[in-house]
């Protein structure tokens, strides 16, 4: 897939794309072009925007040295009469990253922004500006909403392979022209080292860009920072970040495969004996907050990840955290489970926010699927990692929490709920119906699965019949850990029509090919 700039409203990126073209991989890894000798700060890692609403948004950047972040916004790409906002001082304490919140933006408009990095001792000395753009949410229903979602990046040892276009799926997602990108977790694989080459079943060689931090599992803060930084070496991802704002959640591989709070692991290789995953999680969360423009309920970078992002009258996005508050992975067959996978506080928050929402559609971004069985065989154990445990009978274990939630949605007459997830490295559509279920006190709903973005693909997961899922569509390989060079990389698209209120889901392949389409009607309890 070619790496040409996108037409139309994306023409604002001509300047940033030119800068990106100059920012070749060796430069990002340390070889500096001539103008860097002037000592002015550089933003080699591009820009990102995130958690955009009708009147606000977050803008992110990373400098190569101490700098003051300055953001200018404009209604046009000419940046005539820009509005300037001074952001934080970027230093080693945040790995030279920083985020600035933009407020008072016009609703439903294209926002053009550029980030300048100024010498903290001489504000007149600024580096080359880096530009980006995003659309604010409209306060008018008729404009409609479109977004894409997926997850799972650089997993199972499959890294940036420039011979296939790097993370080429991001170019395909950009061509959909979405309002935002929902990343459903596994933004990095901190537990997955990447080597320079791997032989594929047909004898060809998959070649990955490598870095020091990706040569081993992450245990230190520097390791985790290096994992997040690794992805930004990819040209397609940097282009995408400058064009499409994100809503980011996390899952297990941001720390370690299948981790849960209180877990202690390690036999000496590759993790030291007695490694406390809570300690690793603290380091990862800090790096996570440094490398993404993500809002939190407390307004602090170490605040909680679960939140609701309001995107106008048509859509609210409920971003869950199914990792931080869960109980220990187990056989998941207990008849009482007060903690579950969300924790009681998050569950009650979700119920309150769903009941308060007046949006036509309420997308629940669950970073793990509900009715697909995801086992946990790490450390020689045979436990359950997600919600379903394979018993098609009455709800047990973590299913109890979702039985409570689904019952709440039904009895409070909450309409327009749709569940989106990733994690299992294939794409599918499941329709849940009480007529097929052991637990019957809920209204029908849909769950759609996408991913991976650039990771190993795996066969379809088994279904658990407790909530009556019917797998209407699936595309998955028959072998395990199929490389991105062999296909089976996926993203999903959600398109909400402003006139009819209809929500259309399209499951797509890495090149944008539509595999499956489902149209949902507004105003129905559940969905």
pLDDT at 291: 97
Runs of H (alpha helix) within 232-377: 235-243, 277-291, 344-356
Answer yes or no: are the C-beta atoms of 423 and 386 closer than 8 Å. Answer: yes
Mean pLDDT for all residues in the chain: 91
Element (H, E) at 219: none
Work out the percent of the chain whose per-residue pLDDT is above 90. 85
Answer yes or no: are the C-beta atoms of 301 and 284 closer than 8 Å. Answer: no
Predicted confidence (pLDDT) per residue in 301-312, tens digit: 457 899 999 999
Q: Which residues contact 5 (CB under 8 A, 6 or more apart)?
A: 11, 13, 14, 17
Q: Does position 296 have pLDDT exceeding 90, yes or no?
A: no
Q: Does position 336 have pLDDT exceeding 60, yes or no?
A: yes
Runs of H (alpha helix) within 176-295: 221-231, 235-243, 277-291
SS3 405: helix
Instruction: Compute the distance between CA of residue 292 and CA of residue 430 in angstroms, rounded to an integer.
Output: 31
The structure's pTM equals: 0.92
Would you place residue 123 in the very low, low, confident or very high pLDDT band (cuts 50, 70, 90)? confident
Instruction: Compute the distance between CA of residue 120 and CA of residue 65 in angstroms, rounded to an integer.
Output: 10
Would you place residue 382 in the very low, low, confident or very high pLDDT band (cuts 50, 70, 90)? confident
User: What would the mean pLDDT of 81-108 be, rounded to a whole number?
Assistant: 95
Q: Which residues contact 242 (CB under 8 A, 6 or more apart)?
A: 13, 16, 17, 20, 46, 47, 48, 130, 131, 132, 133
Burial class (CB in 10 A: 0-12, 13-18, 19+), 338: exposed
Q: Does position 497 have pLDDT exceeding 90, yes or no?
A: yes
Predicted confidence (pLDDT) per residue in 425-438, tens digit: 999 999 999 999 99
Q: Does position 469 have pLDDT exceeding 90, yes or no?
A: yes
Q: 10 Å Cβ neighbour count for 150? A: 29
pLDDT at 141: 82
Answer yes or no: are the C-beta atoms of 305 and 296 closer than 8 Å. Answer: yes
In the Cβ-directed half-sphere of 172, how many Cα atoms lie within 13 Å? 23
Burial class (CB in 10 A: 0-12, 13-18, 19+), 39: exposed
What's the sign of the alpha-carbon dihedral 244, 247, 251, 255? positive
Answer yes or no: are the C-beta atoms of 267 and 275 closer than 8 Å. Answer: no
Rounded-to-10 torsion of CA 373, 376, 382, 387 = -40
């Amino acid at each position: 897939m070619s790496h040409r700039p996108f037409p139309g409203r994306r023409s604002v990126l001509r300047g940033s794309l030119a800068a990106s073209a100059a920012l070749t991989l060796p430069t990002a890894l340390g070889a500096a072009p001539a103008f860097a000798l002037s000592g002015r700060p550089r933003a080699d890692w591009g820009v990102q925007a995130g958690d955009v609403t009708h009147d606000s948004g977050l803008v992110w950047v990373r400098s190569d040295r101490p700098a003051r972040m300055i953001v200018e916004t404009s209604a046009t790409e000419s940046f005539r009469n820009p509005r300037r906002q001074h952001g934080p001082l970027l230093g080693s304490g945040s790995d030279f990253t920083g985020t600035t919140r933009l407020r008072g933006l016009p609703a439903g408009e294209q926002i053009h922004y550029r980030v300048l990095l100024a010498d903290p001792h001489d504000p007149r000395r600024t580096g080359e500006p880096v530009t980006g753009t995003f659309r604010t949410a409209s306060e008018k229903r008729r404009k409609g909403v479109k977004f894409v979602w997926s997850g799972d990046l650089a997993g199972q040892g499959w890294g940036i392979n420039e011979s296939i276009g790097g993370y080429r799926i991001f170019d395909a997602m950009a061509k959909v022209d979405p309002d935002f990108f929902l990343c459903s977790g596994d933004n990095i694989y901190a537990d997955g080292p990447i080597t320079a080459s791997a032989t594929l079943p047909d004898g060809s060689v998959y070649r990955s860009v490598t870095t020091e931090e990706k040569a081993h599992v992450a245990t230190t803060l520097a390791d985790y920072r290096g994992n997040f930084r690794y992805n930004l070496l990819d040209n397609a991802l940097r282009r995408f970040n400058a064009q499409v704002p994100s809503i980011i959640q996390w899952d297990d591989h941001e720390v370690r495969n299948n981790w849960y709070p209180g877990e202690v692991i390690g036999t000496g290789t590759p993790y030291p004996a007695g490694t406390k995953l809570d300690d690793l999680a603290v380091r990862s969360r800090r790096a996570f907050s440094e490398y993404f423009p993500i809002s939190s309920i407390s307004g602090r970078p170490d605040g909680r990840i679960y939140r609701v992002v309001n995107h106008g009258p048509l859509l609210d996005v409920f971003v869950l955290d199914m990792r931080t508050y869960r109980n220990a992975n187990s056989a998941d067959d207990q008849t009482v489970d007060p903690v579950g996978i969300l924790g009681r506080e998050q569950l009650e928050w979700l119920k309150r926010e769903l009941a308060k929402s007046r949006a036509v559609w309420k997308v629940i971004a669950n970073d793990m699927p509900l009715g697909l069985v995801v086992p946990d065989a790490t450390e020689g154990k045979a436990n359950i990692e997600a919600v379903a445990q394979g018993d098609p009978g009455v709800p047990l274990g973590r299913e109890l929490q979702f039985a409570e939630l689904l019952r709440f949605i039904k009895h409070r007459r909450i309409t327009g709920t749709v569940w989106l997830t990733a994690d299992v490295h294939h794409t599918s559509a499941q329709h849940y119906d009480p007529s097929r279920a052991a637990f019957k006190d809920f209204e029908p709903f849909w769950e759609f699965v996408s991913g991976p973005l650039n990771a190993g693909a795996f066969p379809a997961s088994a279904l658990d019949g407790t909530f009556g899922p019917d797998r209407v569509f699936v595309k998955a390989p028959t072998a395990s850990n199929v490389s991105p060079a062999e296909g089976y990389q996926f993203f999903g698209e959600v398109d909400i029509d402003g006139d009819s209120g209809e929500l259309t889901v399209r499951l797509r392949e890495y090149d944008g090919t539509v595999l499956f389409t489902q149209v949902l009607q507004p105003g129905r309890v559940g969905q």
